[in-house]
């Protein structure tokens, strides 16, 4: 797992904003995971997961190093949320572009697939926690092999209803779902909900 500054991350002693234990406590309990710089993590990785702040994603991936991303699958789960004007956040990119496309343009040798950004983190890795897992997750990307690989990884996580939305421009749609997601979160008082596409 990459971070800007390993020593600073290991010095964190406070719970995160969700009340989860600080990173060192979590790493102690998950000893198969190692913290590294973005560049070292990316160099060793077979698949890159962009799970950093949406506004910082391009900078974090640049720090990971273009050569360390080339030819690799980048699963982009980030949302381009701008909290600078308070709540609710706005989207820093939308309509005619998306964060996923910005990443693909900046790193043309990588294979970017947008997925999982429509659900809360706990559901990403355990879809059964809502509706017995009977809900839909989307994939968007330009490379068919990368999307097939993503779908296989999603199946390993328990996703049964994986919908291919098409090329990476379709990530605009799932990123622009975020304003509705945030309103639903406010109304429901829980992030444990998802989209089910009924055919």
Which residue of 98, 117, 150, 151 would you call a contact of ligand NAP, by CB under 6 A?
117
With CA atoms as reference, report the closest residue to 147 among 57, 73, 97, 197: 73
State the nearest-atom distance from the C-beta of 124 to ligand NAP, in Å. 7
Which one of 46-54, 87-95, 150-158, 162-170 is the stretch in contact with ligand NAP (CB under 6 A)?
46-54
Q: In what order do the strands lie in the sheet with 73-76?
A: 47-50, 73-76, 111-115, 136-141, 161-166
* Pattern 147-176, ligand NAP, x by CB under 6 A: ------------------------------
| Beta pairing partners, 76 | 50, 114
Instruction: Kindly tell me the burial class for residue 127, based on how many C-beta atoms sit within 10 Å of its own C-beta (0-12, 13-18, 19 or more).
Output: buried
Of 41, 48, 73, 78, which one interacts with ligand NAP (CB under 6 A)? 78
Choose the stretch contacting ligand NAP; rule: CB under 6 A; options: 39-47, 56-64, 136-144, 167-175.
56-64
Q: How far apart are CA 105 and CA 114, in angstroms?
A: 14
* Residue 121 lies near ligand NAP (rule: CB under 6 A): yes
Give kind and range of the element (H or E) at residue 105.
helix 99-106
Residues that bind ligand NAP (CB under 6 A): 3-4, 9, 51-54, 56, 59-60, 77-79, 81, 117, 120-121
């Amino acid at each position: 797992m990459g971070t800007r500054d390993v020593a600073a991350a290991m010095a964190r002693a406070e719970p995160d904003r969700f009340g989860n234990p600080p990173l060192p406590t979590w790493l102690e309990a998950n000893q198969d995971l190692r913290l590294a710089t973005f560049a070292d993590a990316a160099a060793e990785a077979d698949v890159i997961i962009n799970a950093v702040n949406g506004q910082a994603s391009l900078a974090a991936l640049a720090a990971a190093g273009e050569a360390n991303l080339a030819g690799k699958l980048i699963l982009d789960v980030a949302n381009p949320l701008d909290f600078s004007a308070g709540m609710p956040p706005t989207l820093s990119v939308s309509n005619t572009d998306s964060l996923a496309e910005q990443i693909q343009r900046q790193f043309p040798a990588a294979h970017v697939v947008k997925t999982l950004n429509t659900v809360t983190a706990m559901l990403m890795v355990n879809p059964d926690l809502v509706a017995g897992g009977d809900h839909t997750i989307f994939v968007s990307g330009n490379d068919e092999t990368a999307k097939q690989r993503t779908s296989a990884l999603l199946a390993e996580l328990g996703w049964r209803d994986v919908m291919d939305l098409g090329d990476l421009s379709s990530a605009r749609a799932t990123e622009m779902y975020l304003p509705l997601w945030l309103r639903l979160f406010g109304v429901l008082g829980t992030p444990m909900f998802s989209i089910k596409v009924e055919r």
